[in-house]
Amino acid sequence: MRVSLNIAVICGLSALTVPAGADTVPTDRSFSVSVHVKTQASNGTQVFVCQAGRNADVFTLQKNDGDNHFAFTHADADQAGAPVSRVASDFSPTPGVWYTLTGVYDAAAKRIQLYANGTLLAAAPAAHSWQAVTPIQTSGETRDLRTYPRALTEKEVAAFYAADQKRLQPTAFSWANPVYYQGSGPGADIHDPDIFTDGGVYYCVATLAPFRNYTDRDPKLPDLGSAPGIALYASRDLKVWKSKGWILKSSSLPDTVPYKHQFWAPELHKFGKKYYVIFGGSNWIEDKHNVGGHMGYYQFVGVADKITGPYTHFTALEGPGVDTSLFQDDDGQTYAVWPGNEIHSIDLSHIDRDEITVGPRLSRAAGPEDYKVLGLPVPGTMEGPYLIKHGGTYYCFFATTYPDLYATGIATAKSLRGPWTLDPRTRAFPCGHQAEFIGPDGRWWMAYKHERSETIPWLSVDPIDFDQQGRVQMTPTAGPQSVMLKE
């Protein structure tokens, strides 16, 4: 974005300091500036790094007044009122949390870029460059200022951030619930979140609004009122998120595919060298386009060589049409966990031929007949299962509905054939439909829709502990949190 405005020479303010050994960055050519910053819990502009001419600032790395977003600015000339190129984040940083900001000016491409925590946030044209006359200056809580006499590439910025994280060896990880998707995350109104950890990156998919089924389809609405598809988002720190595109998008699919609409409860899994996505879908245009010859609920699995896709061979899965989850045991055998907590072996080895084989039921972790153990007044629906293995014990998490709460139940067993033991503390986990993932401290974490935080269901994440008896210990949190990391 380019705007014309009168620039105050911020670098001349007494609040800024010249770091020891600082020099004048050659700003009349390509350059990059990187710094670790911690923001204050206040409004107003916070300039972290800048360098000035006689009448204008060549560049600034700052937090804006008003929207409190990070920004990188670059003036075309050392003149009052010269055009300014500006790129900004689309989120407000969490006060008291360290971020790594990188500003890049590419003279050949005539472009500026802003990165946060190794993730490219925005880019914009920048027509000209010129040489600053002051040394580089800093303000506020900053550390590890670095400059480069060239335009860093996106891969270099990500690699430098990863190396810094390893070098600095932080002793704690901080986050806050609900997670407000700093960056281009999936937004507030989500259901059934799933986070999958791969290569040190967290990937998120979820059921996106609007939450309609085929009986509520409306020809006056986009995609007949269906969720728009399965969007994929990625983060290195569970704070700064970036869109990775669409795994499936309704408006881009042919009208005849049986998974044109709905896209409920997507999950990501990696078995061997392949990535799999599973979700509930159907076709709301005509009955004949559906797997069963009529509109309803159907489950599909797709496969890809990379987590970002493209996913192909979307194959219908036998069994219930929503909320089926996948699990792979230590021996490589894969399983499908149906809503209602039925566990079946499953063979995905021929999905490239659009074939999936589901075996007979091995066991049932929990069912409607267990309603008294769970403290339910009457038998109820059990949905959204997710299966993990920890310390030789299988844990089946599932959602169940009380009159006043959408909660998470837990059943445990030493074998997938059972017997299963129900944890009677279901009401202690107001997390509903959730999924487990490996978190920043190497423990299992839970991704869930915060049922008690707000009327809008934002994503929340919290670590899971296991006591000496193997029982799950997990407390849904709200607000800033911190955990110690492994040395």
Domain CATH number, residue 100: 2.60.120.200
Task: Give the containing element (helix H, strand E) for 51.
Answer: strand 46-52
Beta bridge partners of residue 83, listed in sequence order: 4
User: Residue 184: is its pLDDT beyond 90?
Assistant: no
Cβ–Cβ under 8 Å, residues 159 and 401 = no
pLDDT of residue 8: 41
**Which structure tokens are listed for 277?**
């996505």
**Is residue 355 located within the same domain as residue 400?**
yes
Residue 487 included in any domain: no
The Cα 398–Cα 435 span in angstroms is 9
Q: Name which residue leads in pLDDT, 456 or 430.
A: 430
pLDDT of residue 361: 96
- Residue 375 DSSP class: T
At residue 35's C-alpha, the angle toward residues 33 and 36, to 5°, is 165
- Give the domain-ending residue among 130, 152, 171: 171
Task: Give the containing element (helix H, strand E) for 438.
Answer: strand 434-438
**Which structure tokens are listed for 21?**
């050994």
**Is residue 150 located within the same domain as residue 259?**
no
Helix, strand, coil percentages for the chain (3-state, nearest 5) = 10, 45, 45
The Cα 428–Cα 425 span in angstroms is 5
**Is residue 232 located within the same domain as residue 131?**
no
Cis peptide before 419 (omega within 30 of 0): yes
Residue pLDDT, tens place only, 340-379: 999 999 999 999 999 999 999 999 999 988 988 888 888 8
Residue 452's pLDDT band (boundaries 50, 70, 90)? low
- Residue 8 DSSP class: P
Query: Could you give the C-alpha distances from 112 to 27, 81, 137, in angstroms and in order?
Result: 12, 19, 19
Q: Are strands 357-364 and 342-347 parallel, antiparallel or unpaired?
A: antiparallel
* Residue the block writes with tokens 């192909």: 312
Amino acid (one-letter) located at 322 = V
Mean pLDDT of the chain: 87
Question: Could you tell me which of 265, 474, 304, 264 has the C-alpha nearest to residue 386?
Answer: 265
Question: Could you tell me which of 458, 314, 470, 455 has the C-alpha nearest to residue 388?
Answer: 470
Residue 486 included in any domain: no
Cis peptide before 457 (omega within 30 of 0): no
Residue 457's pLDDT band (boundaries 50, 70, 90)? low
pLDDT of residue 271: 97
**Is residue 226 located within the same domain as residue 244?**
yes
Tally of CB atoms within 10 A around 311: 21
| Parent domain of 111 | 2-171
Tally of CB atoms within 10 A around 23: 10
Q: Name which residue leads in pLDDT, 236 or 354.
A: 354
Q: Which residues contact 218 (CB under 8 A, 6 or more apart)?
A: 212, 224, 225
Which whole number is the average pLDDT over 3-20?
A: 45
Cβ–Cβ under 8 Å, residues 63 and 48 = yes
- Give the domain-ending residue among 140, 171, 202: 171
Beta bridge partners of residue 126, listed in sequence order: none
Residue 49 included in any domain: yes
Residue 353 included in any domain: yes
User: Residue 453: is its pLDDT beyond 70?
Assistant: no
The Cα 102–Cα 104 span in angstroms is 7
Residue 303 included in any domain: yes
User: Residue 411: is its pLDDT beyond 80?
Assistant: yes
> Which range among 8-22, 26-40, 305-319, 337-351 shows the weakest confidence by mean pLDDT?
8-22
> Which range among 77-81, 165-169, 294-298 shows the weakest confidence by mean pLDDT?
165-169
Q: Name which residue leads in pLDDT, 480 or 483.
A: 483
- What DSSP string runs through 130-141? ---SSPPEE-SE
**Is residue 53 located within the same domain as residue 166?**
yes
**Is residue 123 located within the same domain as residue 217?**
no
Residue pLDDT, tens place only, 113-145: 999 988 898 999 998 889 988 888 888 889 889
pLDDT of residue 6: 34
The Cα 435–Cα 387 span in angstroms is 9
Residue 318 included in any domain: yes
Residue 283's pLDDT band (boundaries 50, 70, 90)? very high
pLDDT of residue 297: 92
**Is residue 297 located within the same domain as residue 158?**
no
Task: Give the containing element (helix H, strand E) for 162.
Answer: helix 154-168
**Is residue 389 located within the same domain as residue 465?**
yes
- Residue 430 DSSP class: T
Task: Give the containing element (helix H, strand E) for 326.
Answer: strand 325-328
236: domain CATH number is: 2.115.10.20
Which whole number is the average pLDDT over 454-464?
A: 77
**Is residue 22 located within the same domain as residue 108?**
yes
The Cα 471–Cα 416 span in angstroms is 17
Cβ–Cβ under 8 Å, residues 79 and 117 = no
**Is residue 86 located within the same domain as residue 208?**
no
- How much of the chain, in percent, has pLDDT values that exceed 90? 57
**Which structure tokens are listed for 256?**
């005849």
Torsion of CA 428, 430, 435, 437, to 10 degrees: -60
Burial 425-456 (b: 16+ CB within 10 A, else e): bbbbbbbbbbbbbebbeeebbbbbbbbebeee
- What DSSP string runs through 384-395? EEEEEEETTEEE
**Is residue 84 located within the same domain as residue 158?**
yes
User: Residue 21: is its pLDDT beyond 60?
Assistant: no
- Cα–chain center distance at 451: 18
Which segments of 305-422 are extended strands (E)?
A: 312-317, 325-328, 334-338, 342-347, 357-364, 382-390, 393-402, 405-413, 421-422
Which whole number is the average pLDDT over 206-217?
A: 90
**Is residue 340 located within the same domain as residue 403?**
yes
> Which range among 39-48, 62-71, 293-302 shows the weakest confidence by mean pLDDT?
39-48
Q: Are strands 240-249 and 182-183 parallel, antiparallel or unpaired?
A: parallel
Tally of CB atoms within 10 A around 126: 26
The Cα 419–Cα 345 span in angstroms is 17
- Give the domain-ending residue among 121, 151, 171: 171
Q: Which residues contact 243 (CB under 8 A, 6 or more apart)?
A: 184, 231, 232, 233
Q: What is the domain count for the chain? A: 2
Beta bridge partners of residue 301, listed in sequence order: 278, 315
